[in-house]
Amino acid sequence: DSGVTQTPKHLITATGQRVTLRCSPRSGDLSVYWYQQSLDQGLQFLIQYYNGEERAKGNILERFSAQQFPDLHSELNLSSLELGDSALYFCASSVLGRKGVQETQYFGPGTRLLVL
Amino acid sequence: LAKTTQPISMDSYEGQEVNITCSHNNIATNDYITWYQQFPSQGPRFIIQGYKTKVTNEVASLFIPADRKSSTLSLPRVSLSDTAVYYCLVGDLGESGGGADGLTFGKGTHLIIQP
């Protein structure tokens, strides 16, 4: 158990819908990362937040957005869902998340999203 | 951008030593090298991190030659439970760069251990 929690574990929805994935980092970790993993693309970095502010951006679509709240939990919002958005979504956390520093990331169990 | 290249897949047998090499020809001075392991339907798990020469922990060893253009993850005496995907990441330590660059996992190396 990494100490990172994600909810829900599974999510099935229809195209065009909007969903919110939630992540609680390890106690004391200030930085949260979101990743998308699909069979054909591998593990893709989406976005990183540090203490409530966006720190780094990866291959995140405009239909996706994220935020980190004062209690440090984070939410990833996926809207106008398409079939291709079906994937495993992982959240990870690290202690500081200083820019450019490759800190050890602790990953949650993931949310499996299926868009029908 | 310190891009990495790894084998797509490898296989070996229980009890053998397995070495997975990662190429990172454009590694920068401040970049560290980190390896993660991922089992099916689970999040990646940190294995080892190093900057140069050799690093060893209770799980693996990491060999980095002097030019740092490649690195080798060594798993001693593997077992069936070492069957997983292994990712090599290269990232910056300073304010001069990094960001998303050091967070590129790619597709990793699928290691299959047979009895």
Q: pLDDT tens digits, residue range A1-59?
A: 889 999 999 999 999 999 999 999 999 999 999 999 987 778 888 999 989 999 888 88
pLDDT at B95: 44
Q: For testing the chain B interface, which of A43, A47, A104 should be mutated: the one with the most B CBs within 10 Å?
A: A43
Residue A27 Rama label (left phi>0; alpha psi -120 to 50; beta): beta
Q: Which residues of A fall within a CB distance of 8 Å from B46?
A: 104-106
Question: Do A76 and A89 meet the contact criterion of CB atoms below 8 Å apart?
Answer: yes
Q: What is the pLDDT of residues B53-88, one digit of tens each?
A: 999 999 999 999 999 999 999 999 999 999 999 999
Helical H segments across chain A, by residue range: none
Q: Is there a contact between B105 and A44 if contact means CB atoms under 8 Å apart? A: yes
The yes-or-no verdict on residue A110 having pLDDT over 70 is yes
- Looking at residue B94, what is its pLDDT? 45
Q: What is the pLDDT of residue A62?
A: 96
Instruction: Using a CB–CB cutoff of 8 Å, tell me whether A31 touches chain B.
Output: no
The reported pLDDT for the residue numbered A33 is 93
Residue B98's pLDDT is 45
How many beta carbons lie within 10 A of that of residue B105, not counting itself?
Answer: 21
Partner-chain contact B107 A42, CB within 8 Å: yes
B21 shares contact with chain A (CB less than 8 Å): no
Spatial separation of the C-alpha atoms in residues B90 and A61, rounded to whole Å: 24
Confidence of residue A85 (pLDDT cuts 50, 70, 90): very high
**Does the structure show a pLDDT above 90 at B103?**
no
> Cα angle vertex A61, ends B91, A107, to 5°?
45
According to the model, what pLDDT value does residue A19 have?
A: 97
Give pLDDT, residue A30.
Answer: 92
How distant is the Cα of A43 from the closest Cα of chain B, in angstroms?
Answer: 6
Interface contact flag, A100 B102, Cβ < 8 Å:
yes
Q: What is the pLDDT of residue B84?
A: 97
State the pLDDT confidence band at B15, using cuts at 50, 70 and 90.
very high
Query: What single-letter DSSP state applies at residue B69?
Result: S
Q: How confident is the model at residue A98 (pLDDT cuts 50, 70, 90)?
A: low
Contact residues on chain A for B87, CB-CB shorter than 8 A: 43
Residues of B in contact with A4 (CB under 8 A): 43
pLDDT at B96: 41
How distant, in Å, are the alpha carbons of A20, B23, B108 from that of B88? Answer: 30, 9, 7
Q: Judge whether residue A102 has pLDDT over 90.
A: no
Query: Mean pLDDT across the stretch B3-30?
Result: 93
At A99, is the secondary structure helix, strand, or coil?
coil
Strand pairing class (A53-57; A42-50): antiparallel
